[in-house]
Amino acid sequence: MLPNQIIIVQDTWRQVVPIADHAASLFYDRLFEIDPNSRGLFAGVDMESQGKKLAQALAAVVDALEQIETLVPKLRSLGRRHVGYGVTDADYDTVGAALLWTLEKGLGDAWTDEAKAAWTAAYALVADVMRTGASEVNRQPAGPLSISA
């Protein structure tokens, strides 16, 4: 990410924080609208609590953008864990679309072309690292070779 994009993401995030609960609700409503099957990933989950976790995760990412290398191991681990929840590679695109839509609605006039580009870059960075972590789970060793007569 470019330094000016980091500043834009951090500035616009400060505008989202006061409406974080509402934004999380908008996000999950939009996610389930775009991909109704994704609702199954949250079966039995308290969505209010999940929304708070989403806001906390986004805040951690936004805060660490200037030292993203400190966040990479956590994001890779998060990507590995999400495989166990049933998250697929395609789900990252759907989540990205829902996130950008939510930010557009929440930020109103502050959602400029520059803000969209900055958030797109930030999300792409996070998704790429999480996908890398997820791919590590999928690369499990096949086990020892066994040759039988």
pLDDT digit string (tens) for the chain, length 149 residues? 899 999 999 999 999 999 999 999 999 999 999 999 999 999 899 999 999 999 999 999 999 999 989 999 999 999 999 998 889 999 999 999 999 999 999 999 999 999 999 999 999 999 999 999 999 986 554 444 334 33
pTM of the model: 0.88
Domains of the chain: 3-138 (1.10.490.10)
Residue with tokens 């502050």: 110
- Radius of gyration for the chain, computed over Cα atoms and rounded to the nearest angstrom: 17
For residue 9, give both structure tokens. Answer: 């993401």
